[in-house]
Structure 1
């Protein structure tokens, strides 16, 4: 087996501050969590931003500039900025503004529109901290997280071609793999591809082992040796699915964006705790963990000295 890349997604935009006291919200918290995750073994740090006052998702490049340079100065990790930005209510230009402005080594790129339903999270009894949280979660029942072919091409042109940024292609369903194949055949993306298949979210692929196998078989057939496969799974599926994928030669993603828990009913106290747990599992399986520089070589990245921050 080749070495496995661990990605850590430290905060995301789906969970809200009332769900865990350990979810990083401020730029200082996001930076500290990212640095600790890198020290624990994550080669890639996947970043979203939040309003420092109330924790709502934000695509503001200036907020990203308050933590991305700190992470870069303190670690050798690859910084990967989301183009999901502040969520499905925003235009593609606003969602992707941070990636366009900061020109990181990597950005995430959703490969299709999805019904990303978070409303069930609002049904649990909680002491809600902010008045935006429940309406935000409930409102996802009526939203489509839009990622059209035109949107994808816009990001490829304005972030990829313009800034030399490569992508974590997030595929929430099998059709997204075929969309990626289309852009590969058109020459709009170049190998090696970094394909992140997503499982266990409402509106996306399930997290059954057959779902995992089907995505892997399809990607193998479409991309052959031109891609590196990684897996993220939501909630309680995070570690079991990542473990199965690692045994199949895959890379893995953990972090509080994808799951707030470290075990059954036990909140993770940090992103680094999840990275350490995943690293222990990989060690027990005899799978070596890739360093940031090894991951850069595997993924054909431009290097941290070529970013815009």
Structure 2
């Protein structure tokens, strides 16, 4: 069991959730305010996507990331900032003509997913460690070994800590290969992402097997989607890990009750403390994850 739990809050994500809850933040002002709310509730880390302020669609615009980070820092809130670098991997194909890309495709190279990371040098950025059939239909997330090697090398050069997003066991295998090749520095930081169709299911046995595959000294967290979000807080802590909650992964506090990010963090704090563990502060998270002290 983990006695000192780092809570990450994934604030908004890139999913089609804006019309499903009034609490999903869209504009940089809203995302930054939600980050502050989550930090005040007990999150040591906030995981940041950005969206087009007009449409709510997911975006890779570095200016939006810069505004979110600036607004968070202007408040003086002490929180570790984790920027996604997973955008730019979406491929939607015509199943009858597979070489034809359909609307919704946003596919760029591994390095072209990093301009905002290069500009802002956050504490952490994500690295999605493999390709995946992403839900039903003909949607794929593309992250090839060559893309990952190039991205990992550049992130290492920038001195940013990559959080390795693992959606299935083969991706964990390849992340360990990146480490063996010297493209990842210690401590390695893993996020075990469960319940995303069609990756690793939200099954306790599968999570335990993935934990057993982690390299020595790794720091790890896990989350599961939807109604499994809060049970997964307990599951991850009991297996020795950290946790992630937030509106990226789940919109509800209970059946029929729409949540805010702050409320989801508060619930995770309660579960952590009921299990007899402590909630890590941002400074404790920085020390555990091998990050520089707060400036």
| Same fold, TM-score > 0.5, yes or no | yes
Q: 1:97-129 deviations in whole A, cap 9, x for unaligned?
A: 222221111001111111112x6xxxxxxxxxx
* 1:247 corresponding residue in structure 2: 238
The answer as to 2:214 corresponding to 1:180 is no
Secondary structure of the 2:244 match is strand
Q: Distance in 2 between matches of 1:77 and 1:27?
A: 17
Measured in 2, the distance between the counterparts of 1:113 and 1:304 equals 34
1:70-105 CA-to-partner distances (Å, cap 9, x unmatched) read 112321101000011265123134433222221111
User: What is the TM-score when the length of structure 2 is the normalising length?
Assistant: 0.90
1:302 to partner: Cα distance: 2.6
Deviation at residue 304 of structure 1 after TM alignment:
4.4
Is the CA contact (8 Å cut-off) linking 1:170 and 1:197 kept in structure 2? Answer: yes
In structure 2, the residue corresponding to 1:65 is in which secondary structure?
A: helix
2:18 and 2:275 map into 1 onto residues whose CA distance is 35
Query: What are structure 2's unaligned runs of at least 5 residues?
Result: 91-105
Matches within 5 A, 1:212-231: 212-219=207-214, 223-224=215-216, 226-231=217-222
Shift of 1:191: 1.4
Q: How far is 1:144 from its partner?
A: 1.7
CA contact (8 A) 1:242 1:252 kept: yes
Q: Alignment partner of 2:5: what SS? A: coil
Report deviation, 1:265.
Answer: 2.7
Find the residue that maps to 1:76 and give its secondary structure.
coil
Asked if residue 285 in structure 1 is aligned to residue 287 in structure 2, the reply is no
1:209: which partner in 2? 204
Misfit runs of 4+, over 2 Å: 92-97, 157-160, 302-305
Distance in 2 separating the partners of 1:84 and 1:259: 19
Mapped partners of 1:95, 1:143: distance in 2: 19
Match of 1:58 in 2: 59
- Give the number of equivalent residue pairs: 277
Q: Quick check: 91-100 or 235-244, which moved more?
A: 91-100
Paired residue secondary structure (2:4) = coil
1:297 matched to 2:287? The reply is yes
Correspondence for 1:267: 258
Aligned to 1:133: none
Whole-Å separation in 2 of the counterparts to 1:29 and 1:86: 23
Where 1:98 maps in the other structure, the secondary structure is helix
The question of whether the paired residues in 2 share the 8 Å contact of 1:11 and 1:47 is answered with: yes
Q: Distance in 1 between matches of 2:182 and 2:44?
A: 28
Partner of 2:120: 102
More strand by share: 2
> What's 2:16 paired with?
15
Structure 1, unmatched stretches of 5+, are 120-140
**In the TM superposition, what whole-angstrom CA distance separates every residue of 1:173-203 from its partner, at most 9, and x where no partner exists?**
0111111110111111111111110111111
Cα displacement (A) at 1:2? 3.8
2:278 is paired with a residue whose SS is coil
Question: What is the distance in 2 between the residues matched to 1:38 and 1:212?
Answer: 27
Matches within 5 A, 1:91-240: 91-92=108-109, 93-117=111-135, 141-161=137-157, 163-219=158-214, 223-224=215-216, 226-240=217-231
- Is 2:82 the counterpart of 1:80? yes
**Residue 66 of structure 1 aligns to a residue in which SS?**
helix
TM-score normalised per structure 1: 0.86
**Partners in 2 of 1:172 and 1:205 — Cα distance?**
6
Q: 1:194 to 1:16 in 2, by over 3 A?
A: same
Structure 1 or 2: larger helix share?
Answer: 1
Residues 87 and 271 from structure 1, CA distance in 2 versus in 1: closer, same or farther, beyond 3 angstroms?
Answer: farther
- Cα deviations by residue, 1:136-164 (Å, 9 ceiling, x for unpaired): xxxxx223211111211222222331x21
